Amino acid sequence: MERYTNIAGHEQTKTRGLESMNIINALRRGTVPASGLERIAVGLDVEEETIATQLDFVTRGGGDIKFIRGEYGSGKTFLVARALEIARSKNFVTSHVVISQTAPLHKLKGIYQQICATMRTTEEEHAQKAIIDSWLFGIEEKILKVARENMDEETLEKATVKEIETSLAGISEMNTSLAAALRTYYRANNAGDFQTAQAAIGWICAEPNVGREFKQKAGIRGDIDESVALIFLRGLIRIIVSAGYAGLAVAVDEVETTQSQARNQREKGYNVLRQIVDILDRGEMPHCYFLFTGTPAFFEGPRGIRSLPSLFDRINVIQADDFRNPRQPQIVLSKFNSRKLEQVALKVMDIYSEAYTEVDRSRVTHRFIRAMIQKVTGKFGGRIDVIPRIFLKEFVDVLDKCELYEDYDPWESYSFDADHIRDELKEEEEAVMVVEF
């Protein structure tokens, strides 16, 4: 017994070490780590608990929504990534949609397409096919279990095709195309016709340029459009839950982009948002969680949701004092500050020690971290909120040099030269950068 405990402990340590290295590698590149975000999160305990509670409600068959509000540098991107990580830990399928000029809020088909394209589980990314396969396998298992006898492949296929229709009852009454595409996919897979099977997945996910040949085989006319996108999403959520997952959690980032659209497009986009809120509130999309992010201007500005009073009334917050309530429709994030950045740096040192060797804390002291923050912020007008990505990238470089060179002294050697990162600056970072002549 002790031997197996030791083996399990060794594997757990190995997995954590690999995760630690992945986190450090991501910080070196200036990106958000794909996993282990709870290890560098600071000051988000209440927000994370609120989101986790919502996800538990959705697991039980509810539908829910949350809006994250904050300026650039408040940590919206991080909280979104953390929320999706929490969702996957609770056995949700997750998707991450980014609203832009080319993928606007008022195009429901485009949102649906992004949801499908970014589906992810704890096991794999681009998980659409794996989810559908798991669902179909479950149907076959159920049929064989009920039959209690050997069944030839032809009989099993007929029974499975019939059950596909039954499983999507209600959805097929509104649109029969999803069930038709899934039947075609199942039969093509069984026949080894992987080209047709791939086309079926593509059509279900609203990918462009799926050939006419597939639609003829499936008996489908046309493609997924604005009028049926939410119907298909409901169908996919039902498949996700039937495949053994808790539900679907969707993050929709940068909705403030909608403000730059023409008035008719803005209004249509805000009506799409209101429609999603109402569908979830009416319980018409069970096992689904939506998370939207936006800047304060999106929530309060004249080109934001105030222009559609019915939507503003639904998702506005009461903010009469300093005690923020994340259980309201919006989670309001404050700007990042030096204290939080110091805490993140200390956490990064612990992670680095697990990924490589113990950090020499006589060289990288708390006092040095504070001095380094001042050096970096000095090049960005003292703005702590815009530098976390840049600072952590520089900080990992300091940790690397301390490990590689015994005679490296960060106090003497480190200086922040903004010129070498100028080409990789984001718009918001470049806007506050101090220009030296």
Q: Regarding predicted confidence, which is higher, 175 or 204?
A: 204
Class (C level, CATH) for 32-121+245-332: alpha beta
Instruction: Say if residue 169's pLDDT is above 60.
Output: yes
Query: What's the rounded mean pLDDT across residues 367-374?
Result: 94
Residue 160 near residue 186 (C-beta atoms within 8 A)? yes
> Out of 85-89, 232-236, 319-323, which region has the weakest mean confidence (pLDDT)?
319-323
Query: What's the rounded mean pLDDT across residues 331-347?
Result: 90
Query: What's the rounded mean pLDDT across residues 312-335?
Result: 85
Q: How many helices (H) and strands (E) does the chain have?
A: 19, 5
CA distance 94 to 291: 11
Q: Regarding predicted confidence, which is higher, 99 or 321?
A: 99
Q: What is the pLDDT of residue 4?
A: 44
Average pLDDT, the chain: 89
- The structural domains of the chain, with segments of one domain joined by +, span 32-121+245-332, 128-230, 338-431
Q: Regarding predicted confidence, which is higher, 156 or 99?
A: 99
Rounded to 10 degrees, the C-alpha dihedral 347/21/27/338 comes to 0
> Out of 145-149, 292-296, 338-342, which region has the weakest mean confidence (pLDDT)?
145-149
Strands 63-69 and 288-294: parallel
With cut-offs at 50, 70 and 90, classify the pLDDT of residue 5. very low
Instruction: Say if residue 387's pLDDT is above 70.
Output: yes
Percent of the chain's residues with pLDDT above 70: 92
With cut-offs at 50, 70 and 90, classify the pLDDT of residue 2. low
Query: What's the rounded mean pLDDT across residues 188-201?
Result: 92
β-bridge partners, 69: 294, 332
Residue 104 near residue 268 (C-beta atoms within 8 A)? no
Query: What's the rounded mean pLDDT across residues 18-46?
Result: 89
Q: What is the pLDDT of residue 433?
A: 64
C-alpha distance from residue 327 to each of 47, 273, 315, 317 (Å): 9, 19, 12, 10
Q: What is the pLDDT of residue 34?
A: 81
The pTM of this model reads: 0.86
Percent of the chain's residues with pLDDT above 90: 61
CA distance 332 to 326: 7
Instruction: Say if residue 184's pLDDT is above 80.
Output: yes
Q: What is the pLDDT of residue 122?
A: 93
CA distance 176 to 86: 34
Query: What's the rounded mean pLDDT across residues 299-318?
Result: 92
Query: What's the rounded mean pLDDT across residues 34-51?
Result: 89
Residue 98 near residue 254 (C-beta atoms within 8 A)? yes
Instruction: Say if residue 6's pLDDT is above 70.
Output: no
